[in-house]
Amino acid sequence: MNQRRREAEVSAGKHRIMHEQRLDGARHGLRVAEAGVRDDDHIRVDLPGTVVPAGRTVLEVGGLVVRGPERIGLLGGNGTGKTTLLRRLEPTVPFAYLPQRLDVLDDAASVLDNVRAGAPAADPQQVRAGLARFLVQGDHVSRPAGTLSGGERFRVVLARLLLADPPPQLLLLDEPTNNLDLASVDRLAEAMTAHRGALIVASHDVAFLRRLGISRWWTVEGGLREVAQP
């Protein structure tokens, strides 16, 4: 009986080691897959659902029309009504609004649950893969949003907006660089450059707007109107 007990213990130990090795292999495979998505630590938002055909009307406001994946820079000093205008727009396509304060997350909920709130029917593994595009991976996906650093929180907010269902074909950004560090500004610029839908970005930072490839310029000073490139 003692011999059989020892044999059983040895066998159980071997099974446990094999199980742990398989788990390690699975974790390694996940890390490799996530590393492939990371693309050298650059955010990837090349999402097919956000594409807007060139002739599609995206928005009509005050006699101005946005068609296809156009990029609009919205100019005007503080207090001139840029935020008010963005909140009142009624696009004809799915859209997402990024407020100045990144207060669209539930701090008590996990990162995964926050992003799934914008796409309730999405498979959790698909959401995890989507978050990896925004450099949010591994244990960070299960952390409460309230524990994220500023840069992490910013990327999760972007993920929540862009991974929503239906995907936004127009993004409305309200002074997006106001509360971001330089690294996050660079992340935002690269993400918006890769975005395949339309953009309307309210900002006083003309240099940043130029980085986004803005093709048209509006101002709210003296009424909403189109102006020449500043």
Domains along the chain with CATH numbers: 48-227 (3.40.50.300)
Instruction: Render 54-116 in DSSP notation, one character per residue.
Output: TT-EEEEETTEEEETT-EEEEE--TTSSHHHHHHH---SS-EEEE-SS---S-TTSBHHHHHH
pLDDT the model gives residue 31: 47
Mean pLDDT on 217-227 = 92
Q: Quick check: 157 and 148 in contact, CB under 8 A?
A: no
Task: Name the pairing type of β-strands 216-219 and 225-227.
Answer: antiparallel
Q: Is 146 strand, coil or helix?
A: helix
Token pair for 63: 């006699």
Taking only the tens place, the pLDDT of each residue in 52-105 is 888 899 999 999 999 999 999 999 888 888 999 999 999 999 999 988 777 789
State the pTM of this model: 0.74
pLDDT of residue 36: 44
Please determine, for residue 25, whether its predicted confidence score (pLDDT) is greater than 80.
no
- Determine the residue type at 179: N
pLDDT of 133 over the 80 cut: yes
Residue 40 has pLDDT above 60, yes or no: no
| Percent of all residues in the chain with a pLDDT value above 70, rounded to a whole number | 81
pLDDT at position 9 over 60: yes
Neighbouring CB atoms inside 10 A of 93's CB total 18
Preceding omega of 166 cis (within 30 degrees of 0): yes
Crossing angle of the two packed helices 150-162 and 124-133, in degrees rounded to 10: 120
Kindly tell me the burial class for residue 173, based on how many C-beta atoms sit within 10 Å of its own C-beta (0-12, 13-18, 19 or more).
buried
